[in-house]
Amino acid sequence: MPSFRFLSSACNSKIYAQYSAKKMDLFNPVGMRLESHPLDMNSRPERMKVNKIATKPFPDQKPGTSGLRKKVRVFQQPHYLENFVQSIFNCLPESERGMLIVGGDGRYHNRQAIQVILKMAAANGFRHILVGRQGLLSTPAMSVLIRKYKACGGIILSASHNPGGPEGDFGIKFNTTNGGPAPEKLTEAIYQQSLAIEAYHILEIEDISLDEIDSCTLGRTRLDIIDPVEDYAELMSRLFDFGRIKTLFDSGLFRMVFDAMHAVTGPYAKEIFEHRLKAPPDTVINAVPLEDFGGGHPDPNLQNAQELTSLMFSGEAPDFGAASDGDGDRNMVLGRHFFVTPSDSLAVMAANIHHLPGYHSGLAGVARSMPTSRAVDRVAESLGVECYETPTGWKFFGNLLDSHKITLCGEESFGAGSDHIREKDGIWAVLFWLNLIAVRQRPVSEIVQQHWRRFGRHYYSRHDYEEIESTMAEALMHRLAEQLHTLKGRQFGEFRISECDDFSYTDPVDHSISSHQGLRFLFDDGSRLVFRLSGTGTRGATLRLYLERYLADPARHNLDLQQTLAPLAAIADDIAQIKKYTGRDKPSVIT
């Protein structure tokens, strides 16, 4: 056990007795800049100078579905980060400024931003701050910590799956007391604060070394630098049968590769898969978090995780492959020569959740984002539970989870989760599949194909047109919306549009309404087209086209995916004039 230096009499030492002082090579990655002249953790004065810095609003600090994301150079502008952080703090009453948790995915500018946030949090009266060692915390781990220690909230520094480095992206997101992303009402309040801000508060102190587990005080604020992995790993060991999963690796016959993509899940994957489950030492690849993700794009899909994808479709393919993204909340799952779509993954999870020790009570219900395929709907119908269709954005699952209406939720953009936290969770999803393989004693491909034979197959794909001119993207969507009332009943070859609308969601818990969440075109045979503009990029606009075709006949379950969807893609271009408005002959990314 580490020897903490408890400098505040009000601290609860029991909370932190669990943290291990072990050192991991992964926590001293190449490319992580260490602070110069750090303040000694033992010699902080009780009274420190708080500076009130005059500032002016920036007009572009409106958070999207995943917080505020901009290019690094935007966040490096004087006062830019400080303004947004102060706007968050201004929305939290002083009586609720208890424990704040801070961490990020290790991307470029992560450490510098954390130093600012720690000094501002202390200056704004937070009584207790937890920060991950070396500033690292995955998004799922953040949710675990908030919920376990009943923190008032947490600040996550990440742009998720977006590229990093000096020319890359940076982001900041606030999670609330339930461990989930701030709801729209709060993000709107933060935005309004950012438009009216006149000053921010910050301690005048040197930077703080974050490289070792330690404790100190900043004025009247207690600061603890913690092991970012331990609490998360312990929760995973209670949700899944680690003993049974371990037998897969003990046999010597089961091989797995996990691609951490030089992002934050490297330390988590090494601890859980290699240390606790005893997978071979080379199981986790690209395990060291780097500020630029090794020059790669930390988005776990077939295009960006090419090293893993090539291996899984080669003659030397292991039995199981998986990857996670920049901040650890997304996942990709593959079997030998077999890709599991996120929509199918969610449906398989729902159909098999009773096999897992942490979920013996079964499903209360399920939820999916509107663009996600309706494969899980059929499972829910079979099990007699409710299936909720929400807008895109994990925050929309929060009320359903908090009110115990659902147990599982997921989205087509490589995200899945459960009621264990209030974020999607990449390593959790991988452990789910490992536990399922250990129980079923079948390879990934066979598990999915058996599922199709029972429920039918939803051929599904997303076509992304990235960084297109915003005005043209908006014009495309506007023209398409104007056609909604004329396209119903129209025939396109063998496909007939039965319904079309601009999706609107009424939250069944708080009855809030979210409108204009995407244009849906439903066909008589169960096929769908969905059009959305994405809010996760930092340059131009991304048009997302979702194509779904349902085929119940097992004899038609092994067709080529894109060829099967080609007629729907042609209809999409016909009604939306995609080539005309985007200037593209093909999508930037197909998943």
pLDDT in tens, 378-405: 999 999 999 999 999 898 999 999 999 9
Tens-place pLDDT, residues 263-317: 999 999 999 999 999 999 999 999 999 999 999 999 999 989 999 999 999 999 9
User: Given pLDDT bands bounded at 50, 70 and 90, which one contains residue 138?
Assistant: very high
231/86 Cα distance (integer angstroms): 29
> What pLDDT score was predicted for residue 538?
55
* Neighbouring C-beta atoms of residue 524, cutoff 10 Å: 13
Sign, CA torsion 34/297/169/85: negative
> What pLDDT score was predicted for residue 24?
35
> What pLDDT score was predicted for residue 460?
96
Tens-place pLDDT, residues 87-131: 999 999 888 899 999 999 999 999 999 999 999 999 999 999 999
Tokens at 299, concatenated: 């988005």
| Range with the poorest average pLDDT among 246-255, 287-296, 483-492, 535-544 | 535-544
Write down the architecture of domain 457-590 according to CATH. 2-Layer Sandwich (3.30)
* Residue 310, CA distances (Å) to 107, 162, 316, 325 in order: 26, 22, 10, 18
Residues acting as catalytic residues: 160
pLDDT beyond 90 at 41: no
User: Given pLDDT bands bounded at 50, 70 and 90, which one contains residue 48?
Assistant: confident
> H helices of 50-97, where?
72-75, 80-90
**Cβ atoms 529, 547 nearer than 8 A:** yes
**Cβ atoms 542, 447 nearer than 8 A:** no
In the chain, ranges of CATH 3.30.310.50 domains: 457-590
Instruction: Find, among 517, 525, 484, the residue nearest to 501 by Cα.
Output: 484
Average pLDDT over the chain reads: 91
Question: What average pLDDT does this structure show over 335-344?
Answer: 97
Terminal alpha carbon distance of the chain: 46
* Neighbouring C-beta atoms of residue 163, cutoff 10 Å: 20
- H/E segment holding residue 441: none
157/386 Cα distance (integer angstroms): 34
Q: Give 232-455's CATH code, choosing from 3.40.120.10, 1.10.3720.10, 3.30.420.40, 3.40.190.10.
A: 3.40.120.10
pLDDT beyond 70 at 43: no
Instruction: Find, among 549, 570, 481, the residue nearest to 520 by Cα.
Output: 481
In the chain, ranges of CATH 3.40.120.10 domains: 13-227, 232-455
> What pLDDT score was predicted for residue 537?
52
403/409 Cα distance (integer angstroms): 14
Tens-place pLDDT, residues 220-260: 999 999 999 999 999 999 999 999 999 999 989 999 999 99
Q: Angle at Cα 570 formed by Cα 552 and Cα 343, nearest 5°? A: 40
pLDDT beyond 60 at 20: no
User: Given pLDDT bands bounded at 50, 70 and 90, which one contains residue 464?
Assistant: very high
Tokens at 427, concatenated: 């390593």
> What pLDDT score was predicted for residue 44?
46
Tens-place pLDDT, residues 149-193: 999 999 999 999 899 999 999 999 999 999 999 998 999 999 999
Tokens at 304, concatenated: 């960006």
DSSP string for 351-395: HHGGGSGGGTT--SEEEEETTS-THHHHHHHHHT-EEEEE-SSGG
User: Given pLDDT bands bounded at 50, 70 and 90, which one contains residue 479?
Assistant: very high
3-state secondary structure of 582: helix
216/366 Cα distance (integer angstroms): 43
CB under 8 Å, gap of 24 or more: what pairs does 552-561 form?
552/456, 552/457, 554/452, 554/453, 556/457, 557/449, 557/452, 557/453, 557/457, 559/459, 561/459, 561/461
CATH superfamily of the domain spanning 13-227: Alpha-D-Glucose-1,6-Bisphosphate, subunit A, domain 3 (3.40.120.10)
**Cβ atoms 422, 147 nearer than 8 A:** yes
Give the pTM: 0.89
Phi, psi dihedrals of residue 365, rounded to the nearest 5°: 170, 175
Tens-place pLDDT, residues 322-337: 999 999 999 999 999 9
Share of the chain above pLDDT 70, in %: 91
Tokens at 101, concatenated: 């948790």
Question: What average pLDDT does this structure show over 355-371?
Answer: 94
pLDDT beyond 70 at 414: yes
**Cβ atoms 546, 371 nearer than 8 A:** yes
Tokens at 15, concatenated: 């909370």
